[in-house]
Amino acid sequence: MFTPLELGIMGTTALAFLAVLGVRIAFAAAFVGTFGLIVMLGWEGGIFTAGVIPHAKTVAYELSVLPMFILIGYLAFYAGITQSAFEACRRWFGWMPGGLAIATVFAVAGFSAVSGASTAAAAVFARVAIPEMLKAGYNRRLAAGVVAAGSTLDSLIPPSALLVVYGIIVEESIGKLLIAGFVPGIFSALVYTAIIIIMCTRNPEMGKPITGYTWGQRFRSLPGTGPIILVIGIIFSAMFYGWATPTEAGALGAFCVFVIALINKMKWVELRQALLDAARLTVMIFTLIWGILIFVRFLGFANLPLAIANWVTNADIPPLAVLLVIYLIYFVLGMFMDAIGMLLLTLPIVFPVVTHLGYDPIWFGIIVVKLCGIGLLTPPVGLSCYVVNGVRPDIPLGDVFRGVWPFIVADILTVATLTAFPEIVTFILEFT
């Protein structure tokens, strides 16, 4: 008979094998977890333990923040808020080398503050920004790459669905995680900007400056950014000063965007589509959480996470070396798995190791979510690249993947900087 620890190792191997075969991670995790629980606890105990998890986790108050944040993003898209933000950024940043690409980065950053899904950001700006860049003679690889890469800012800038999932799994403060993601998200956008300027300065044909806007035209574009600024102010100040929970802040943000959508004369068909899109994405995320949490419960009974954490802690390995290995694991997994599935699969094992080594859990949350953002860009399963190609099939998928590589390098530089200077992440928490 196998020991619980051996069963945990076998279960983890089986789950990895099923994932490689292409079985959806939610179903693979639920199957392996349930089977493992039955082996250890018997039929009745295993089925009962696996059966109560979906209900117990679904009714958790912390999880209700997810549909609110997702709804904000889809309402903002169908209300036309994104077009106004892009036009304002175009007028203010277009004069720089690669100005339209830079405008796209900052417009996506603004949209990220009212959205909870990177794929939604990629789809929106593939429609809004790519036609403008191609019309201005921009290199199509740069145009597609900046949209795909810019959409990953959504994983850091609050509201972020990935940070919420991370907080739920590791039982850390969702409010602190969302606040901590703001500065690294802006920093990442600035690194993207630097990469674009360097590329377009070395080769001006990639993206020429857009000139001709007067100061009056620039200032007249600012009112169009008002809805985004309003929602950012509500969500961030509510969590920062503590007068609302993340869920309440998300609900307030969704209500404000809904009112703005009505003022912008959103049609019933558009409102219906926004609600359906938000419901679909929410159900998908909840299904993933259910399946993985059954597997996590199985790992808990097997005592595998604690055993690995103790082994790493007692081994004569520098903490930074362990951290770099974890980074590499996420980079490789990101080539084959979606971000949420990757978080749910790895954190039960990785998180105890990281905390045993003395690293700050909030800081690690930002790092791991940024690594998941890189996974949205790397082939063969770079989801943001597929979304851009799906919206713009005239740009070959190969060109999209080639276009994101400079931004993957930028992301690696960002992760290295945040690792060397964790205060970039944690300093803002001192004021909460």
213-223: pLDDT as tens digits:
788 888 888 88
Mean pLDDT, the chain, as a whole number? 82
Whether residue 202 is found in the same domain as residue 135: yes
Phi, psi at residue 313, to the nearest 5°? -65, -40
**CA triplet 236, 343, 6: central angle to 5 degrees?**
145
The DSSP result for 189-220, as a single string, is HHHHHHHHHHHHHH-GGGS-------HHHHHH
The residue to which tokens 């990895």 are assigned: 16
User: 């036609």: which residue's tokens?
Assistant: 131
Is residue 341 in some structural domain? yes
Both 308 and 397 in one domain: the answer is: yes
For residue 12, the enclosing domain spans 1-59+293-301
Q: Does some domain include residue 277? A: no
pLDDT band at 192 (very low <50, low <70, confident <90, very high): very high
| Same domain? 21 vs 108 | no
Query: What is the amino acid identity at position 423?
Result: E
Average pLDDT over residues 394-411: 89
Q: Is the peptide bond before 159 cis (omega within 30 degrees of 0)?
A: yes
Residues 51 and 77 in one domain: no
* Backbone φ and ψ of 368, nearest 5°: -70, -35
Highest mean pLDDT (candidates 203-212, 286-295, 310-319): 203-212
Does 418 have pLDDT greater than 70?
Answer: yes
Q: Kindly state whether residues 297 and 308 are assigned to the same domain.
A: no
Mean pLDDT calculated for residue range 265-272:
84
pTM: 0.79
Distance from CA of residue 304 to its chain's centroid?
Answer: 27
Helices (H), 315-338: 319-333
CA distance 418 to 360: 12
CA pair distance 239, 35, nearest whole angstrom: 40
Query: How many other CB atoms are found less than 10 A from the CB of residue 137?
Result: 11
11 shares a domain with 1: yes
Shared-domain flag, residues 16 and 147: no
From first CA to last CA, the distance across the chain in angstroms is 51
CA atoms within 13 A on the CB side of 115: 31
Please tell me the least confidently modeled range out of 166-170, 226-230, 269-273: 226-230
Query: Are 221 and 320 members of one domain?
Result: yes
In this structure, the answer to whether residues 121 and 15 fall within a common structural domain is no
pLDDT digits (tens, 9 = 90+) for 351-401: 888 888 889 999 999 999 999 888 888 876 677 888 888 888 888 888 888
pLDDT of amino acid 184:
92
Q: Count of H helices and E strands in the chain?
A: 21, 0
- Amino acid letter for position 13: T
Q: Yes or no: say if 239 and 249 are a contact pair by the CB < 8 Å rule.
A: yes
Span 103-107, average pLDDT: 87
Where is the domain boundary, 280, 301, 322? 301
- Helix-helix angle 140-151:118-135, to 10 degrees: 160
280 domain-assigned: no
pLDDT recorded at residue 117: 64
Same-domain check for residues 69 and 200: yes
With CA atoms as reference, report the closest residue to 296 among 141, 155, 169.
169
333 & 370 share domain: yes
52, 68: one domain: no
**Position 317 confidence tier, pLDDT thresholds 50, 70, 90:** confident
**Residue 185 is assigned to a structural domain of this protein:** yes
- Six-digit token string for 371: 């690594």
Per-residue model confidence (pLDDT) at position 334: 78
Domain count across the chain: 2
Identify whether 88 is part of a domain: yes
Assigned domain for 288 exists: no
Q: Answer with the one of 253, 275, 301 that is the final residue of a domain.
A: 301
Q: Which of 117-121, 284-288, 346-350, 423-427 has the highest mean pLDDT?
A: 423-427
Cis amide leading into 380 (omega within 30): yes
Is position 261 within any domain?
A: yes
Inside any domain, residue 282: no
Of the residues 279, 301, 323, which one is the last residue of a structural domain?
301
